[in-house]
């Protein structure tokens, strides 16, 4: 057990460290040199996209300011009408171009890192931001769609092998040895990998394009 912090202004230090960017304006001019690509329509979300995104959420994760846990949301969304209402809300956010304030509300929890000799500096703590679950669910749906587009239109750099579906080190190796996706050996390699991993990141993303 590390030594407890004795610094009286530790809270101020943590607050200034983790919230120093709050309210800061973002300079979007850094995007100006990038070429402008053709604008594409955003297809409406489907109920399947919502349920797939919801299935990947742990029922026991800590809730945000609204205290609605994933287990609660999963119970509500067992009703098809509730699913359609939430899909309509997600589509409206995209169509109108507005992200409700409720989705932005968050709670910042600062957890001490284990095994530190002292807890008098911000580096000894780990901040965790808890958002409201409905907003997080729609964010997951949007993220899945963006990943689909990134892969479909080849917008991911070939050397980026983390954080992108079907773009892990495993898939990078298959590309490196130049195995086409339609070949039998490629499909067998994916099947074997799925058998020997508890959670495979090989997942078909369905979009209406």
DSSP state string for 75-138? HHTTSHHHHHHHHHHHHHHHHHT---HHHH-EEEEEEEPTT-SB-SSGGGEEEEEEE-HHHHHH
Question: Rounded mean pLDDT of 75-104?
Answer: 95
The residue out of 135, 155, 175 marking a domain boundary is 155
- pLDDT band at residue 137 under the 50/70/90 scheme: very high
Is pLDDT above 70 for 78? yes
* Boundaries of domain holding 51: 1-23+39-155
Please give the pLDDT value at position 203: 40
Please give the pLDDT value at position 176: 61
- pLDDT band at residue 49 under the 50/70/90 scheme: very high
Residues 121 and 167 in one domain: no
Please give the pLDDT value at position 44: 95
Examine residue 146 and state whether it is found in any structural domain, yes or no: yes
Residues 4 and 99 in one domain: yes
Question: Which tokens sit at 61?
Answer: 């994760």
Is pLDDT above 80 for 175? no
Is pLDDT above 90 for 127? no
- The model carries a pTM of 0.70
Alpha-carbon gap, residue 13 to 28, rounded angstroms: 29
Please give the pLDDT value at position 122: 81
The residue out of 155, 170, 192 marking a domain boundary is 155
Question: Rounded mean pLDDT of 153-164?
Answer: 72
The residue out of 117, 136, 155 marking a domain boundary is 155
Please give the pLDDT value at position 37: 79
Phi, psi of 27 (to 5 degrees): -90, 105
Is pLDDT above 90 for 97? yes
Please give the pLDDT value at position 68: 94
CB < 8 Å & 24+ apart, contacts of 152-161? 152/209
Decide: 158 and 151 in contact? Cβ < 8 Å. Answer: no
Alpha-carbon gap, residue 205 to 20, rounded angstroms: 37
Residues 187 and 87 in one domain: no
Is pLDDT above 50 for 55? yes
Please give the pLDDT value at position 1: 46
Examine residue 117 and state whether it is found in any structural domain, yes or no: yes
Examine residue 88 and state whether it is found in any structural domain, yes or no: yes
- pLDDT band at residue 168 under the 50/70/90 scheme: low
Residues 182 and 167 in one domain: yes
- pLDDT band at residue 172 under the 50/70/90 scheme: low
């Amino acid at each position: 057990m590390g030594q407890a912090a004795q610094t009286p202004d530790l809270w101020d230090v943590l607050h200034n460290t983790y919230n120093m960017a709050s309210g800061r304006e973002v300079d979007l001019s850094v995007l100006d040199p990038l070429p402008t690509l053709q604008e594409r329509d955003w297809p409406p979300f489907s109920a399947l996209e919502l349920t797939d995104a919801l299935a990947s959420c742990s029922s026991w994760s800590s809730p945000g300011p609204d205290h609605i846990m994933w287990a609660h949301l999963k119970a509500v969304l067992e009703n098809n009408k509730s699913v359609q209402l939430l899909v309509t809300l997600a589509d409206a956010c995209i169509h109108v171009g507005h992200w409700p304030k409720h989705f932005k509300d968050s709670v910042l929890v600062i957890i001490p890192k284990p095994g530190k000799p002292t807890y008098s500096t911000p580096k000894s703590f780990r901040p965790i931001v808890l958002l409201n679950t409905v907003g997080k669910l729609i964010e997951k749906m949007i993220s899945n769609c963006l990943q689909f587009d990134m892969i479909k239109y080849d917008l991911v750099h070939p050397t980026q092998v983390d954080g992108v579906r079907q773009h892990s080190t495993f898939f990078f190796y298959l590309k490196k040895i130049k195995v086409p996706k339609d070949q039998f050996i490629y499909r067998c390699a994916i099947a074997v990998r799925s058998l020997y991993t508890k959670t495979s990141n090989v997942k078909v993303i369905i979009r209406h394009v």
